[in-house]
Amino acid sequence: MLKRRTTPSARVPNKSKFRSDIQGLRALAVTVVIADHLLHWPSGGFVGVDIFFVISGFLITGLLLREHEKTSKISFADFYRRRIRRILPVAAVVLIVTVSAAWMLLSAARAKSVSMDALWSMFFGANWHLAMTGTNYMDATSAPTPLQHFWSLAVEEQFYIVWPWLILALYAVGARRAWGFPRTRRALGLGMGLVAAVSFGYAYWETAVSPAIAYFSTFSRAWELAVGALLALFATSLAKMPDWVRPVLAYAGLGGIMWSVFAISPTMAFPAPWAAVPVLATSLVIGAGTGGDQKFLAPLTNPVAHYIGNISYSLYLWHFPVIVLGQVFFRDQGLFYVTIACVLMTLLSVVSYHLVEDPIRQSSWLEPANRNRRSMKPLSFSMKGQIAGLCLLALAAGVTTGFALDKERGSASVAQGAPNNKPLPQTTSPAEKDLTAEEELAAKVGAATRANVWPDLKPTVDELTRSALAEEWSKDGCLGLEEKAMPDPRTNAQRCSYGAPDAPKTAVVLGDSVAISYVPGIRAALEPQGYKVLVYTMQQCPAAKVSVLKLDKSPHPQCDTFRDWTWSKVAELHPDLLFMTSVHSPTLASGAEGPKFLEEWGAGYSDTFRALSGTAKRTVVLDPPPGGVALKDCATRISKPQDCKTTVTNRYLDLQTIGRQKLDEVGNETMEFVATKNWFCTTSGDCPSFVGTTPVYADGSHLTAAYSASLGPLITEVLKLAA
């Protein structure tokens, strides 16, 4: 049997008085998270989640240790009943309201996506769902799901599926081996420390290899909760701390948190190693207040921070749906939008805290009928009625608002793929019949920028999925999306040949996903002229000779090798026509940004143009599209075409200028630069989301196959390819 001492110093202290400093930490954490999501400031606002993880690990582990000290066991039934009462009721309300609002406001495709997100969130798998879909190349420019923030809740609950069993197992080993209480406590500390160390090491590795997955991974985040657990384990030792040391440690920790909030940025390696700063800083604050008074810590212990800490869970759950869905109503996300969002999320949080979260948490719901429940309150019918009334009120308000706005703006049908069939205004007179392809396209682009109603889009908004991309990409796999299925991109490229195999002329397309998006138009222009088109493209690998990172900020070791291979193949083939293009906004492996990015990109252009000079009879450098918005995110039940119109950025124009300059420096008459801005925008720089009845982009940067194919006559005309 496990020998237990009876001296107070040997035990985990009993539940102490209310920790106002921890409530203040919760208030600080939720405030910086909201500021990050709403204002995109401060740069490290996302570390608020790490603060929550440490707090959770400390409180929950302390509860488990105290229970075992008191009863020599841990009741898993009681533990999970408490977790359900604490977590599920408000989460369910938020999920129901958010999904209902999504179906009332968003396109059907996006509403279905939100519904699937809600399902994953309800069963605490949101983090892995985001890890699987968050790095999806097609969704790189998509708007965030209003339920994205549920990932942190999923990490916690997955952690607590395992954590109580680990603690109990260590206690059982100590009892079986008769280690005695101190030795068992050391074993607990060793076990928790090992979990923290292994998890941190794994997080460090995964952050370097696959940052997007590491951010959401339970295995890469477990160490943060384990650090809080270690604080709970050593609470007795911390309680002996001299009182004069406490404010020093607390303010040192608070300073570390504030440094993290303002100095850490999304470009830094996270969660390892940089999450260690807010985690350790939070540990200092919690440790300083363990077993003693929280004196001289007014920033965390004041009444306002106390109340925000009380409602912090509800506030965290409500804030992101309000922010994301609010953007449907406010395209200009200025001060008015920020004010309305703050007021609405606060009101929803206060109501749900007082009517749902706190009453259910303190109730006897789910408790056995024979349990002594003197400290708990029965969940009365009136309380259930209040909760049901709250849900019905929220749904009724959403329905009324949604349909009222829908009727007012008269464009509800676009989100369901059945847009208003009212024709666009005529821009040419019957006499103007002999327009060039370029003039005809310019007229259509201009008309689209002035449209006030949605035309009958084909493909529809709900069809703007992967299937709307170029078939060479979406069906034939010529971008090499599945690296495991296609481990050698060179073999993949060699099979991507289009047109007659014995065609007298050959064209090659080099670049990344933007290049392959042009392929339907290039094929439409070239194949009738007797060309065979070879597609040598690779995901996230630009034609310019620069080393890049993938979208998830992980290294892209295949890119440089693949680019060198394409150059050698072009030199070997000596094609009649060579096209090259690529996205203008990759993440450089060097980390260069601003002017340094332009300098490195220009140098990469120079190296590429010189290497390929003379390898083809004619080389065409196509400017990429300027990019726009993802219609499946922008086109809602209450939107108008003007809401989804964008403008050309200065960065785009700067990169266009650099491309021209570097090509001119080569001085090869067989190489030419083709500016494509006017294929997508007016001369003044206004860019519609559709032209005629065709959506321009399948997402926010890749052309739809339909629009790309429609550029065939223009490419033929611009390059003077017609016989």
Q: What is the residue whose two structure tokens read 């449907």?
A: 328
Residues 298 and 386 in one domain: yes
Is the same domain home to 248 and 159?
yes
Q: Give the pLDDT of residue 382.
A: 56
- Determine which of 14-23, 412-421, 699-708 has the lowest per-residue pLDDT on average: 412-421
Instruction: Please compute, for residue 598, the number of CA atoms within 13 A of its CA located in the half-sphere on the CB side.
Output: 13
Residue 382 sits in the same domain as residue 502 = no
Return the pLDDT at 613: 94
Low-confidence winner among 121-135, 561-575, 655-669 (lowest mean pLDDT): 121-135
pLDDT at 412 over 50: no
Same domain, 215 and 157: yes
Query: What was the pLDDT predicted at 47?
Result: 97
Q: How confident is the model at residue 221 (pLDDT cuts 50, 70, 90)?
A: very high
Residue 58 to residue 229: CA distance in whole angstroms: 5
pLDDT score of 486 = 44
> Considering the domain boundaries, does residue 414 fall inside one?
no
Give the mean pLDDT of the chain. 87
Q: Can you tell me the mean pLDDT for 310-336? A: 93
For residues 387 and 444, membership in a common domain is answered with no
Residue 713 lies in a domain: yes
Is 80 exceeded by the pLDDT of residue 648?
yes
Based on the fold, state whether residues 382 and 444 are members of the same structural domain: no
Look at the chain and report how many structural domains it folds into. Answer: 2
In a domain, 430, yes or no: no
DSSP for residue 415: G
CA dihedral 485, 487, 491, 494 (to 10 degrees): 60
Using 50, 70 and 90 to split pLDDT, how confident is the model at 416?
Answer: very low
Tokens encoding 560 = 């440089």
Residue-wise burial string across 529-557, b where 16 or more C-beta atoms lie within 10 A, e elsewhere: bebbbbbbbbbbbbbbbbbbbbbbbbebe
Instruction: Please answer whether residues 528 and 518 qualify as being in contact, where contact means their C-beta atoms are separated by less than 8 angstroms.
Output: no
For residue 648, CA distances in Å to 601, 633, 677, 681, 686 come to: 19, 20, 8, 8, 7
pLDDT category, 389, cuts 50, 70, 90? low
Ranking 296-305, 367-376, 391-400 by mean pLDDT, the lowest is 391-400
- Domain holding 98, by residue range, is 16-368+375-401
Of the listed ranges 191-195, 411-415, 702-706, the least confidently predicted one is: 411-415
Average pLDDT of the residues in 296-300: 93
**Dihedral Cα 235, 238, 240, 245, nearest 10 deg:** -150
As a whole-number percent, the residues of the chain with pLDDT over 90 amount to: 69
Distance between CA atoms of residues 480 and 419, nearest Å: 35
Identify whether 524 is part of a domain.
Answer: yes
For 565-591, the three-class secondary structure string (H helix, E strand, C coil) is: HHHHHHHHHCCCEEEEECCCCCEECCC
pLDDT band at 358 (very low <50, low <70, confident <90, very high): very high
Query: Could you tell me the pLDDT band of residue 99, with boundaries at 50, 70 and 90?
Result: very high
> In this structure, are 321 and 467 located in the same domain?
no
Is residue 121 scored above 70 in pLDDT?
Answer: yes
**Higher per-residue pLDDT: 374 or 571:** 571
Residue 453 lies in a domain: yes
Regarding whether 496 and 626 lie in a shared domain, the answer is yes
The answer to whether position 94 is within a domain reads: yes
Residues 364 and 482 in one domain: no
Q: What does the block give as tokens for 505?
A: 């002329």
pLDDT of residue 364: 83
Say what percent of the chain tops pLDDT 70: 86
Query: pLDDT tens-digit profile of 142-179?
Result: 678 999 999 999 999 999 999 999 999 999 988 877 78
In this prediction, residue 378 has a pLDDT band, given cuts at 50, 70 and 90, of: low
Q: Which residue has the higher pLDDT, 68 or 409?
A: 68
Report yes or no on 614 lying in a domain: yes
In a domain, 135, yes or no: yes
Which domain CATH number covers 441? 3.40.50.1110
pLDDT tops 70 at residue 394: no
DSSP-based three-state secondary structure for 148: coil
> Looking at residue 479, what is its pLDDT?
86
More confident residue, 376 or 566: 566
Q: What is the pLDDT of residue 722?
A: 52
Question: pLDDT grade, residue 555 (50/70/90)?
Answer: confident
Beta strand 690-691 pairing with 694-695: antiparallel
Distance CA 12, CA 65 (A): 7
Residue 723: pLDDT above 50? no
- Cβ distance 507 to 579 under 8 Å? yes
Between residues 364 and 498, which one has the greater pLDDT?
498
The pLDDT value given to residue 18: 78
Between 5 and 707, residue with greater pLDDT: 707
pLDDT for res 368? 81
Dump strand ranges (E) for 520-661: 531-537, 548-549, 577-581, 587-588, 619-622, 646-647
Q: What is the structure's pLDDT at 488?
A: 64
Q: What secondary structure letter does DSSP report for 701?
A: S
For the record, the structure tokens of 431 come out as 């006499």
Residues 582 and 648 placed together within one structural domain of the fold: yes
12: pLDDT strictly greater than 70: no
pLDDT per residue as tens digits for the range 596-620: 999 999 999 999 999 999 999 999 9
Looking at residue 4, what is its pLDDT?
40
| Domain co-membership, 385 together with 492 | no
pLDDT value of residue 388:
53
pLDDT over 70 (residue 267):
yes
Q: In this predicted structure, what is the pLDDT of residue 185?
A: 87
Span of 273-287, 482-496, 585-599 with lowest mean pLDDT: 482-496
Neighbouring residues of 61: CB distance < 8 A, sequence distance ≥ 6: 163, 167, 192, 228, 229, 232, 233
| CA pair distance 380, 360, nearest whole angstrom | 10
Residue 424 confidence (pLDDT): 41
Task: Say if CB 619 and CB 671 are below 8 A apart.
Answer: yes
Q: Which residue has the tokens 């209003």?
A: 146
Query: What is the pLDDT, as a whole number, of residue 495?
Result: 83
- Per the CB < 8 A criterion, the answer to whether 55 and 35 are in contact is no
Distance in angstroms (rounded) separating the CA atoms of residues 209 and 267: 14
Q: Residue 6: what pLDDT?
A: 37
pLDDT at 485: 43
Angle at 131 between CA 130 and CA 136, to 5 degrees: 85
How much is the average pLDDT of 45-67?
Answer: 96
Q: Are residues 387 and 463 in the same domain?
A: no
The span from the CA of 581 to the CA of 697, in Å, is 17
pLDDT of 411 reads: 41
